[in-house]
Structure 1
Amino acid sequence: MHFKRLRDLREDRDLLQKDIAELLNITQTVYSRYERGFQTIPVIHLLKLADFYGTSTDYILGRTDNGKPYERKSIK
């Protein structure tokens, strides 16, 4: 699965792949594989990216066109 939105989100902020790779503590090559769909994104990285970009995981995955994050529920 190709994750075009990962690239779009990154480029909209004028960031390089190596910048996001550093955020995730991975190599630029691994991050590049995420963007091109050659490697599955671990859930922990997907969550971190959604938080970083202020969007939902569904938006990153292309399951919705709504870029706003979901409201978080408080844990009691």
Structure 2
Amino acid sequence: MQVYTRIRNLREDHDLTQVKVGAAVNVTQRAYSYYESGQRMIPPNVLCALADFYNVSVDYLLGRTDKKETNR
């Protein structure tokens, strides 16, 4: 699924570790690693927190659009 690839690419593009992103969205590194690898579904609250953290839309993370910008 595209969401897992997108969150990994965003993290790598920002030169961040899984620990730093996990802390920013209030999950452990292990939980974040499971989300990024597709071993666990990303809960809606974490998905929204990731979108806010990277300043992208949830639709972008889900692969519903290729436009990163939010409508804020």
Q: Could you say whether these structures have the same fold, taking a TM-score greater than 0.5 normalized by the shorter chain as the test?
A: yes
The whole-number CA distance in structure 1 between the counterparts of 2:39 and 2:5 is 12
The whole-number CA distance in structure 1 between the counterparts of 2:48 and 2:21 is 13
User: What per-residue deviation string (whole Å, max 9, x for no partner) do you get for residues 3-43 of structure 1?
Assistant: 10001111111000010111122211110111111101111
Partner residue, 2:34: 33
The whole-number CA distance in structure 1 between the counterparts of 2:68 and 2:5 is 14
Partner residue, 1:4: 5
Partner residue, 2:56: 55
Partner residue, 1:67: 68
Pair member with larger Rg: 1
Q: Which has the higher helix share?
A: 2
Where does structure 1 differ by over 6 angstroms across 4 or more consecutive aligned residues?
A: none
Secondary structure, counterpart of 2:69 in structure 1 = coil
**Normalized against structure 2, the TM-score is what?**
0.88
The whole-number CA distance in structure 2 between the counterparts of 1:53 and 1:33 is 19
Structure 1 unmatched runs, 5+: none
The whole-number CA distance in structure 2 between the counterparts of 1:12 and 1:40 is 22
The whole-number CA distance in structure 1 between the counterparts of 2:23 and 2:69 is 25
**2:24 matches 1:15:** no
Structure 2 unmatched runs, 5+: none
